[in-house]
Structure 1
């Protein structure tokens, strides 16, 4: 009888599986990670890839915690903040489904809604700052974009209140409302650019094989390329299958995204876009029109200000990325952008936009300072809930 080949056993690492907004992901305390994964680098990325179940040529992530969509292939690492006047440092990793890399180039606005709740429940907030009842204000430092985010988390009898009657389109069940404030959401510090990196509210974007498109390219919440739906043959009322089942459409949007990334200075050559899937986002906008959402809900034109559809990690998002919602609200507040023109132009401090799962309201007020547009804050309401907590297991030699 031949000797059995020895295999390294699995290790278990404390983790929490959470929903935040219309996304879900695996949350870790930095100090709970294996020691060699506590610093950015190859070991951390390999560990998170194995946790989520990537890369998976089958595109299913069966052997991991991922859900085979951009909204469910996510990881979060949190620690007590090293920055003054902040409670928690927040790191977000978007895990590629079919490729061996983790994209650290931007934030996840949806999972931001769960950061405060996790931080409170996992001892990352000073006890003196946590009320027994009422609202706990959690000051979050997003380390990748160098921005402050404030989460207002409801508390009941000393514990995070997760259940409630707040309904969020794209999420089946109601929960407690968590208000999120993105402070100074424009001008991504890591990218070193302004709110409008090209210097223009609207540009002519040349896209090989497609033509020249009008585009608003903005750094707010997350770098985003906005185009007009009609210029690419859509109405702005499309649902996921209309785009995601069309390989030619997906390829077209990826080409637009790559060209936008180049114009925004995020990459030096369009070939680099394939290794930067998380940013920028590409979205198409249109004036409000009636449509039926993916859940069968009738969305009336007179109940929304515009329609927006956005792609994330190469696919049309089932609802709307939270960071892209910040970009939408910011762009809508600035007269002359494509988003602002889609809502009819003029000054405004909030918009409600239609997305594949329903609608969402986001507020943002823009002012001009020294000839430049400035947005001090963008606000939206989300919800969050713990789905499972305990340990995640991975083979000990996976990283």
Structure 2
């Protein structure tokens, strides 16, 4: 009999870890409270990384993450750890881990702007935000300390009858169903301690072996991002995912651009280091406003947008736009002379609406020139968030 051939062996039972699966903006991730993690995983290190990799289902040579919570895209291979903030005048510490799909690697080098939309709601629901700061009805202002980039983010979370309001009529391109609007303010969004333009220039001549010399705007705002003109690399700026993600030669070219931009920005010192820094910097291309049909079949009209932007995340064209990259777009658009500002028509502006593969997004930003250096005071955008599942995730006992 077949049953007789099944070997019964003793294995330790799986570990149960409290977790919540949440959509934030156009991303999804597994959220944890730090003090609910296994003790050895409550601090940075190999054990924590191993736990998150196993939760998400990486590394997966099939690139499907079938045996984990990941969705096999950069937008859905994400983890968040929250804790009571240790920073004065802040409510919650927010740590983001981008989990590689086919590699045993968790990238802690940057923030996720989309999942930021869910941080405030999770912190309120889990009692991380002091009760006296949470209104019965109205808007709860949650002060977030973004641990990865050491920056303040303010989330305005709607409350109804003492609970976070998740359902509403706010529509976000890239998300199928409407939800409650969450306004997010990224304060002093320049990423890192140096200049917002690490090369000192609004536009550089970026020399890329095998590609040539391209004009590039390299900015640290929201997340380190490299912008190039679409037409300079053979695109129109209206492309959808299939046009690029199915083209291995194109993906290799973008990774080469990203790698040499990272060197120019001082983020790495050698091309060999790029593989261990996949989350940052981002690479994006811009073009003047043009009409196109989005991935959902919705028509995006040139007169309704200021420019077109396409961005890659973890080596693939993003299905919409990363929230942190949107901050970079908004900030660069506010500064006359950048490639983003030029594509948007030039001049001074405090907000920009751009077209992305799933539709459009508006982001506001304030920037000013002080002593010859550009600084950004804040960037603002609206997202939404919704809890999809809560309870426990399980991983094998020998994971760490």
* TM-score (norm: length of structure 2): 0.98
Counterpart mapping for 1:7-46 below 5 A: 7-46=11-50
2:195, 2:373 within 8 Å by CA — same for their partners in 1?
A: no
- Separation (CA, whole Å) in 1 of partners of 2:220 and 2:80: 22
TM-superposed CA distance for 1:4, in Å, is: 4.8
Q: Does 1:50 align with 2:54?
A: yes
Counterpart mapping for 1:195-214 below 5 A: 195-214=196-215
Aligned to 1:316: 317
- Separation (CA, whole Å) in 2 of partners of 1:4 and 1:171: 45
- Separation (CA, whole Å) in 2 of partners of 1:367 and 1:103: 31
Aligned to 1:367: 368
- Separation (CA, whole Å) in 2 of partners of 1:12 and 1:325: 36
SS at match of 2:17: strand
> Could you give the per-residue CA deviations for residues 10-45 of structure 1, whole angstroms, max 9, x where no partner exists?
010000000000000000000000000000000000
- Separation (CA, whole Å) in 1 of partners of 2:104 and 2:294: 34
Aligned to 1:253: 254
Counterpart mapping for 1:147-186 below 5 A: 147-186=151-190
SS at match of 2:15: strand
Counterpart mapping for 1:107-186 below 5 A: 107-186=111-190
- Separation (CA, whole Å) in 1 of partners of 2:87 and 2:366: 27
- Separation (CA, whole Å) in 2 of partners of 1:123 and 1:133: 17
Aligned to 2:69: 65
Aligned to 2:384: 383
Runs of 4+ in 1 over 2 A off after TM superposition: 1-6
- Separation (CA, whole Å) in 1 of partners of 2:38 and 2:377: 38
TM-superposed CA distance for 1:6, in Å, is: 2.8
- Separation (CA, whole Å) in 1 of partners of 2:9 and 2:296: 51
Structure 1 residue runs of 5 or longer lacking an equivalent are none
TM-superposed CA distance for 1:372, in Å, is: 1.4
2:98, 2:279 within 8 Å by CA — same for their partners in 1?
A: yes
- Separation (CA, whole Å) in 2 of partners of 1:17 and 1:374: 36
- Separation (CA, whole Å) in 2 of partners of 1:88 and 1:56: 32
SS at match of 2:387: strand
SS at match of 2:308: strand
Aligned to 2:266: 265
SS at match of 1:209: coil
Q: How many residues align?
A: 396
- Separation (CA, whole Å) in 1 of partners of 2:144 and 2:61: 36
Aligned to 1:95: 99
SS at match of 2:88: coil
Aligned to 1:280: 281
TM-superposed CA distance for 1:311, in Å, is: 0.0
SS at match of 1:63: coil
SS at match of 1:268: coil
TM-superposed CA distance for 1:373, in Å, is: 1.1
Aligned to 1:83: 87
SS at match of 2:55: helix
CA RMSD of aligned residues (A): 1.0
> Could you give the per-residue CA deviations for residues 177-232 of structure 1, whole angstroms, max 9, x where no partner exists?
0000000001x23xx42100000000000111010010000000000000000000
TM-superposed CA distance for 1:365, in Å, is: 1.5
Structure 2 residue runs of 5 or longer lacking an equivalent are none
Aligned to 1:393: 394
2:23, 2:118 within 8 Å by CA — same for their partners in 1?
A: yes
- Separation (CA, whole Å) in 2 of partners of 1:4 and 1:392: 25
> Could you give the per-residue CA deviations for residues 95-139 of structure 1, whole angstroms, max 9, x where no partner exists?
000000100000000000000000000010000000000000000
> Could you give the per-residue CA deviations for residues 139-162 of structure 1, whole angstroms, max 9, x where no partner exists?
000011000000000000000000
- Separation (CA, whole Å) in 1 of partners of 2:10 and 2:276: 35
- Separation (CA, whole Å) in 1 of partners of 2:305 and 2:366: 18
- Separation (CA, whole Å) in 2 of partners of 1:20 and 1:104: 18
TM-superposed CA distance for 1:7, in Å, is: 1.7
Counterpart mapping for 1:351-366 below 5 A: 351-366=352-367
SS at match of 1:237: coil
Q: Does 1:6 align with 2:10?
A: yes
TM-superposed CA distance for 1:8, in Å, is: 2.1
- Separation (CA, whole Å) in 1 of partners of 2:12 and 2:286: 51
